[in-house]
């Protein structure tokens, strides 16, 4: 009896300690509305690492039917509140250094999906094709403006998403559903019940939620939580600029002009961010600095003293590099210039952010590869695989550093045989021997691929009469996408291949493709002489001049 009593006391003590520890976590409570002013049919709030992957939420809570939610923040300094809802665009709210036991209150109105103004080629993916974009089915247009799809199904329900209804071509839920399920990445899956062995889906454009409100999404914290509101203002201002520049670049690209002449008046956003960098709140100042750094990737020129100010606010040992780890090398290279590699190598142990360490190691690996330092390359590659395998964003680059790779400078191009698009004949690597040729793995949906079009056209015209060819291999969802792109966007007057099904898998394996674009330059003897970064943007022309002269 006494032992039972003591065990009970011990359990109560453990519970009390657990509760005490739990109460030190902050809690966020809020009210959520959709673009129509009503709580969404289904919504969730998630805690993810600030700037992190929406597929990797640490905590997730369902929003109740009246739009109320409450979620506790995990331990740590840099988090983001991700809000997702049926029919709406995901929303991310930055949270930095939230104090233990702090209670935050917020009201949120979401922005609806960025639906197209006119629906033409509506496609559908679902559990019958593993939600594979490449296997998407076209929905049949009907006289009333809606779209129809019917599929035989052995199950009681059929789950699906729509493709080709939103401006950025994401897969989103449809307008017809018996219920919805969160898809794990920011959107929702629609589920319909089958009848007589068939599942039927109707997409009615008149049922999509649209809004004329200009202030969506709208986020309001209590006045005493003005620091968070400032973080949101910084992030929203940068996102607004990114959207404006992206739209301007799209127009510019359609005019088929080189990006070298592109310009954007960023004076307003630069002044705003520089003012925030002078904030007495150092966390706000540093957050503004890292967001300012993003603008350099939008063809916006920053002055040398701006980069100096950024690394002064956020030095190597600052853990806030966790938020923007992919930018750390570029930030320091703008100041250290030719000394960047030595500086990063000698000061590596100062880097506090685990993710930033991984990015710096990748850079050091590429330098070791370029300088043919085999032992150093092996060491860096093994370290990345063993110590930083939790940072998936660098996988694409780590694969390029694999010392055992067969697709690298100095090795023979893998044997291949492909069917040409514009001619009824096949093409092999042996057919191309005797010429310099660039293999370009790409797709119309890949924005970095499309951004390469001006320089690809320029170098093709410059070198086509100097024993140089281009072979583009498309990873598009449909050959029609390639044909439409070449007819309406860029002519691409060189050799073309469309890869599908088993051929795509085979070529991906042979050429070790972890992501696109993936350009590879081969010499007349069939030896790979350059890959990846050396063949992107302005560096492509420089690399070709190295082997072909000035053209």
Domain boundaries, given as residue ranges, for the chain:
25-109, 123-207, 230-310, 315-404, 417-548
| Exposure string over 90-118, b if 16+ CB within 10 A, otherwise e | bbbbbbbebeeeeebebebbbbbbebbee
Six-digit token string for 159? 């789950």
Q: What is the pLDDT of residue 259?
A: 60
d(CA 372, CA 375): 9
Q: Model confidence at 282, in pLDDT bands (50, 70, 90)? A: very high
Class of domain 417-548: alpha beta
Contact 432, 467 (CB under 8 A): no
Asked whether residue 14 carries a pLDDT value surpassing 70, the answer given is: no
Query: In whole numbers, what is the pLDDT of the chain averaged over residues?
Result: 90
Q: Which 3 state secondary structure label does DSSP give 362?
A: helix
239-243-246-247 Cα dihedral, nearest 10 degrees:
-170
Sheet holding 218-221, edge to edge: 68-72, 27-33, 103-109, 218-221
| pLDDT tens digit sequence for 477-530 | 889 889 989 988 899 999 999 998 889 999 999 999 988 999 999 999 999 999
Sheet holding 495-498, edge to edge: 495-498, 468-474, 436-442, 518-522, 528-531
Q: What is the pLDDT of residue 260?
A: 64
Mean pLDDT of the 70-78 span: 88
User: In CATH, which superfamily holds the domain spanning 25-109?
Assistant: Carboxypeptidase-like, regulatory domain (2.60.40.1120)
Asked whether residue 172 carries a pLDDT value surpassing 50, the answer given is: yes
| pLDDT tens digit sequence for 248-266 | 877 776 676 656 667 889 9
Is 180 exposed, middle or buried, given 0-12, 13-18 or 19+ CB atoms closer than 10 A? buried
| pLDDT tens digit sequence for 84-131 | 999 999 999 999 877 777 789 999 999 999 999 999 889 999 999 999
Between residues 222 and 351, the one the model is more confident about: 351
Asked whether residue 545 carries a pLDDT value surpassing 80, the answer given is: yes
Q: What is the pLDDT of residue 76?
A: 79
Six-digit token string for 388? 């930083």
DSSP string of 278-296, one letter each residue? T-SSHHHHHHHHHHHHGGG
d(CA 472, CA 518): 10
Q: Which residue has the tokens 């972890």?
A: 514
| pLDDT tens digit sequence for 355-390 | 999 999 999 998 998 888 999 999 999 999 999 998
Q: Which residue has the tokens 């990015």?
A: 359
Q: Which residue has the tokens 């799809």?
A: 149
Check whether the bond before 73 is cis (ω within 30° of 0). no
Contact 253, 488 (CB under 8 A): no
Q: What are 49's strand-pairing partners?
A: 79
Check whether the bond before 526 is cis (ω within 30° of 0). no
Q: How far is C-alpha 1 from the geometric centre of its chain's CA atoms? A: 61
Q: Which 3 state secondary structure label does DSSP give 85?
A: strand
- Under DSSP, the state recorded for 524 is T
- Under DSSP, the state recorded for 32 is E
Q: What is the pLDDT of residue 6?
A: 43
DSSP string of 191-214, one letter each residue? EEE-BTTEEEEEE-GGGS-----S
């Amino acid at each position: 009896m006494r032992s039972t009593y003591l065990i009970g006391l011990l359990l109560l003590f453990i519970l009390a300690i657990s509760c005490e520890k739990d109460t030190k976590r902050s809690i966020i409570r809020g009210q959520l509305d959709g673009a129509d002013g009503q709580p969404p049919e289904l919504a969730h709030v998630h805690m993810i690492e600030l700037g992190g992957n929406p597929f990797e939420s640490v905590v997730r809570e369902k929003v109740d039917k009246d739009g109320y939610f409450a979620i506790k923040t995990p331990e740590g300094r840099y988090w983001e509140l991700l809000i997702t809802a049926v029919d709406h665009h995901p929303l991310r709210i930055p949270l930095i250094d939230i104090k233990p036991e702090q209670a935050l209150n917020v009201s949120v109105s979401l922005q609806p999906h960025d639906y197209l103004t006119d629906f033409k080629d509506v496609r559908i993916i679902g559990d019958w094709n593993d939600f594979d974009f490449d296997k998407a089915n076209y929905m049949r247009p009907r006289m009333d403006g809606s779209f129809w799809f019917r599929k035989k199904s052995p199950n009681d329900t059929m789950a699906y998403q729509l493709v080709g209804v939103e401006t950025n071509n994401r897969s989103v839920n449809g307008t017809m559903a018996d219920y919805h399920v969160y898809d794990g990445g920011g959107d929702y899956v629609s589920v319909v019940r089958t009848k007589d062995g068939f599942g039927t889906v109707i997409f009615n454009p008149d049922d999509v939620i649209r809004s004329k409100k200009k202030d969506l999404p709208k986020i309001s914290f209590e006045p005493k939580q003005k620091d968070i509101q400032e973080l949101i203002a910084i992030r929203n201002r940068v996102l607004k600029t990114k959207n404006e520049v992206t739209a301007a670049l799209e127009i510019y690209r359609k005019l088929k002009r080189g990006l070298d002449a592109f310009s954007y008046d960023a004076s307003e956003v630069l002044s705003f961010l520089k003012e925030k960098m002078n904030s007495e709140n150092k966390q706000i100042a540093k957050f503004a600095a890292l967001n300012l750094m993003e603008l350099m990737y939008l063809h916006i020129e920053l002055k040398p003293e701006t980069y100096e100010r950024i690394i002064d606010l956020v030095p190597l040992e600052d853990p806030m590099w966790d938020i923007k780890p992919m930018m750390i090398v570029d930030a320091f290279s703008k100041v250290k210039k030719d000394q960047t590699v030595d500086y990063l190598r000698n000061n590596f142990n100062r880097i506090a952010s685990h993710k930033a360490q991984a990015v710096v190691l990748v850079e050091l690996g590429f330098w070791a590869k370029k300088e043919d330092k085999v032992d150093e390359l092996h060491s860096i590659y093994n370290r990345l695989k063993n110590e930083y395998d939790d940072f998936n964003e660098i996988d694409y680059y780590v694969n390029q550093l694999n010392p055992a790779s067969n697709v690298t400078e100095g090795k023979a191009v893998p044997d291949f045989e492909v069917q040409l698009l514009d001619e009824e004949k096949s093409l092999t690597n042996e057919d191309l021997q005797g010429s310099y040729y660039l293999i370009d793995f790409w797709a119309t949906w890949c924005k970095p691929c499309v951004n390469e079009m001006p320089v690809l056209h320029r170098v093709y015209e410059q070198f086509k009469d100097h024993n140089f060819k281009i072979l583009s291999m498309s990873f598009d969802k449909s050959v029609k996408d390639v044909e439409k792109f070449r007819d309406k966007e860029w002519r691409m007057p060189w050799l073309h291949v469309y890869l599908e099904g088993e051929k795509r898998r085979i070529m991906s394996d042979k050429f070790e493709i972890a992501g696109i674009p993936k350009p590879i330059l081969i010499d007349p003897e069939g030896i790979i002489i350059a890959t990846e970064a050396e063949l992107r943007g302005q560096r492509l022309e420089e690399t070709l001049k190295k082997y072909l002269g000035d053209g």
